[in-house]
Chains A and B, each alone.
Chain A
Amino acid sequence: MIRLENVTKRYGDTLAVDSVSFEVPEGEVCVLIGPSGCGKTTTLRMINRLIEPTSGAIEVDGRDVMSVKPEELRRHIGYVIQSIGLFPHLTVADNIATVPRLLGWNDAKIEPRVTELLELFGLAPNEYAGKYPRQLSGGEAQRVGVARALAADPPLLLMDEPFGAVDPLTRDRLQMEFARIQRELRKTVIFVTHDVDEAIRLADRIALLRDGRLQQYDTPEELLDHPANKFVHDFMGADRALKRLGRVRVGEVMRTEIEIARIGDEGAIDRTACVEERFVYLVDGAGVLRGWVDCDDLDEGLPAEDAITEIDWREGSVGPDVSLKEALSVMMGLGFRSVPVTERGRLLGEVTLSGIESTMTQADTHIAHTAAPESEPA
């Protein structure tokens, strides 16, 4: 748990952070967001004392950070920055082993830990452990950066725009991966970003800052639905309903009652199955998605063999962990009103446009009831 109380940082005449107070419960992700110069990074860096606060108190797990030696404090707080800062002269394994070594772990304990972390981030240990940072792509380097921060299993993780410097596609994947790992590890995370979509996607709570002052601290839903002032309302953006889709995972709304046929057996497809369904999905013996039959084509009298659309699951389906927003974009791309959901190829279900629509409508009606207050806070 982290608690900030009236934390202030003054540089000469300017207040970079102006008596900010908030509390992050254990295991939650708190995203600090705001326009550049709003004090979000300064706030983050005061937590591990890379910057000393001018006044106010910061507590980590009930302990005042000012009572701990800065080096000691930092060894128990994971730290990831946008430019990663991997040590270019050390291998991936040695980079990850940095904090464990500082803490005096022996090699017998470090080695399995490094392997474990590389596996957690989907980096084959025998391939990546001996590589040097310059041999990594941006996304790989970023994964190693996060792995390094987690090496000594700190309860608290500070991340300063960790996915800011990679291309949008990789960023997307890294966010997804981070969300997955966070669901597993339940760290207390303070995450700085200027990207609203990223904040909505990853945050349990969002702290929105402006000119060093905290504007609102609440769940993403509350910031979208009940913005505290016009600034919050404007900052969160106009396409709120769409943004909310970014928070819902496909796995949460997919339909699992779908019609499935074995590929090669499509002749046996019962046309009555098409009464309720738009598609009959075709899988192979291992349950891997291979294609579908469009019921409209069957209705037009085409034989089933000719109504087959064969697809590669890598292109024609979405994973259960992607957001509805992405599922929608894949659907648009394919030009269908539904998209199959697969995990490593295995068919799990489908997401339909109408399903997404009903999620959106719920959000819409919700927002319609809450007109944003136009006045600035006193």
Chain B
Amino acid sequence: MSTATDSTATDSSGPVSPLKRYRGLALVALFATAFTWLVMQQDGWDRVLGQLFPTERAATYPTPLATLTAEHLMIVGVSSGLTVLVGIPLGIWVTRVSGRDFRDTVAAGVDFGQTFPPVAVLALMMPILGFGLWPAVVALFLYGLFPVVSNTVAGLEGVSAAVKDSARGMGMSKVRILLQVELPLAARVIMAGVRTSVIVNIGTATVAAAVGAGGLGDPIIGGISVQNLAYVFEGALTAALLAVLADTALAQTEELLTPAGLS
């Protein structure tokens, strides 16, 4: 008997070639280098913005762009780092037997965190945490939690019951099933949540300037108050480029974390 009815496999292509993976990483490295070079060109920005906005007294913000960018990365890095460190375990917990009862409460909580305007959180945090980095970090952390938690939950709940059942039936422990089966299979969805969270954070982090945390919000808010459009443009353009760079980098990470059998 032939295997005619059996050879109807839908896809016979192999896993993503390593070459393709490295090409993506090389692209990210190139982008990052170009971006770094760009924010270091203080004189260049001065010249170009001076020509675009000839009526402004000064074309670039007094603090060097490289410093502002570094501050911005710091704010985003700390708040997004906390979001991931808290959000993913929280998402895992509410999909376990022990935390299942809290699933809806946590979902509502992170939902509320995102709908609550970050500026209002800043205002509320100031009396407690004062000026500077920390009120900004708290506001951004709460704001960014929603996509990370909800995607972690969605990713883990999306793992087929049959796969989990057979893992259990073969004698894998709960921890092993989580680490070797559920998380790898949910990795892509979880990473998509992290990516959304970080991208939104990069834009939202500009409000941190309102509590003196610095970053690319400084030229934007400063520019608005002294009515210097060149400042606003400088901050906004750099934040936008940073978001694109982060998006590309995280898309590549997503790709790398996605197991070969799924891509």
Among the stretches A30-38, A85-93, A358-366, the one at the interface with B is A85-93
B65-101 near A? 1/0 per residue, CB < 8 Å: 0000000000000000000000000000000000000
**Cβ distance B257 to chain A, nearest Cβ, rounded Å:** 11
Mask, A211-245, CB within 8 Å of B = 1, is 00000000000000000000000000000000000
Specify which of B9, B172, B173, B184 is in contact with A137 (CB 8 Å cutoff): B9
A81 to B166, CA, bound (A): 7
Query: B181 touches which one: A76, A87, A145, A170 (CB < 8 A)?
Result: A87
Q: Is the CB of A91 within 8 A of B261?
A: yes
Chain B positions 1-16 with a Cβ under 8 Å from a chain A Cβ: 1-2, 5-15
Contact status B169-A74, CB under 8 Å: yes
Q: Which residue of A lies closest to B13 (CB)?
A: A135
Interface string of B240-263 (1 = CB under 8 A from A): 000000000000000000011110
On chain B, the residues within 8 Å of A149 by CB distance are 170
Q: Check if A132 sits within 8 Å of B168, measured CB to CB.
A: no
Contacting residues, chain B, for A91 (C-beta < 8 A): 261
B166 touches A169 (CB 8 A): no
CA distance A87 to B169 in the complex (A): 13
Contact status B167-A132, CB under 8 Å = no
**A85–B11 contact, CB under 8 A?**
no
Which residue on B lies nearest to A134, using beta carbons? Answer: B11
Across the interface, do A89 and B169 meet the contact criterion of CB distance under 8 Å?
Answer: no
Main secondary structure of the interface of B (DSSP, over half): loop
Q: Across the interface, do A132 and B261 meet the contact criterion of CB distance under 8 Å? A: yes
- Can you name the residue of chain B whose Cβ is closest to the Cβ of A167? B5
Which A-chain residue is minimally distant from B180 (CB atoms)? A87
Flag whether B208 is at the interface (Cβ < 8 A): no
CB distance from B169 to the nearest CB of A (A): 4
Choose the segment among B135-143, B157-165, B192-200 that binds chain A (4+ C-beta atoms closer than 8 Å): B157-165
Partner of A140, one of B9, B11, B13, B167: B9
B172 touches A79 (CB 8 A): no
| B162: A residues at CB distance < 8 A | 81-85
Residues of B within 8 A of A74 (CB): 168-171
Given A132-B15, A134-B10, A319-B1, are A88 and B163 neighbors across the interface (CB < 8 Å)?
yes
User: Closest approach, in angstroms, between the C-beta of B15 and any C-beta of chain A?
Assistant: 7
Q: B1, A173: Cβ atoms under 8 Å?
A: yes
Which residues of chain A are near B173, meaning CB under 8 Å?
A: 71
Interface string of B142-166 (1 = CB under 8 A from A): 0000000000000000001011111
Chain A residues with CB under 8 A of B2 = 314
Whether B168 pairs with A50 at a CB distance below 8 angstroms is: yes
Q: Closest residue to B168 on the A side, CB-wise?
A: A50
A173 to B160, CA, bound (A): 27
CA distance A155 to B15 in the complex (A): 35
The answer on a CB contact under 8 Å between A71 and B261 is no
* A98 part of interface (Cβ distance < 8 Å): yes
Q: Does A73 contact B (CB under 8 A)?
A: yes
List of A residues within 8 angstroms of B10 by Cβ: 134-135
Least Cβ–Cβ distance between B258 and chain A, in angstroms = 9
Any chain B CB within 8 A of the CB of A133?
Answer: yes
B185 to chain A: which residues have CB within 8 Å?
A: 87-89
Q: Assuming A89-B260, A89-B262, is B5 touching A139 (CB within 8 A)? A: yes
Q: How far is B163's CA from A87's CA once the two chains are assembled, in angstroms?
A: 6
Would you call B15 and A102 a contact (CB within 8 A)?
no
Give the docked Cα–Cα distance between A292 and B185 (Å). 56
Q: Are B163 and A137 in contact (CB under 8 A)?
A: no
Write the A54-96 contact mask toward B (1 if CB under 8 angstroms, else 0): 0000000000000000111111100111111111111100000
A136 within 8 Å of B (CB atoms): yes
Q: Are B172 and A71 in contact (CB under 8 A)?
A: yes
Residue A48 at the B interface, CB < 8 A? yes
Q: Scan B87-123; emit 1 where CB is below 8 A from any A CB, else 0.
A: 0000000000000000000000000000000000000
CB distance from B39 to the nearest CB of A (A): 39
Q: B169 contacts which chain A residues (CB < 8 A)?
A: 48, 50, 74, 79, 81, 158
A328, CB-defined interface residue at 8 Å = no
Tell whether, in the assembled complex, residue B261 and residue A98 are in contact, meaning their CB atoms are under 8 Å apart: no
B234 shortest CB reach to chain A, Å: 45
- Contact, CB under 8 Å: B261 / A102: no
Complex Cα spacing A82 to B165, Å: 11
Q: Report yes or no: A136 in contact with B170, Cβ–Cβ below 8 A.
A: no
Given contacts A74-B170, A79-B170, A314-B2, 12 further A-B contacts (CB under 8 A): A70-B171, A71-B172, A71-B173, A82-B162, A87-B167, A102-B172, A130-B14, A135-B9, A149-B170, A167-B5, A173-B1, A319-B1
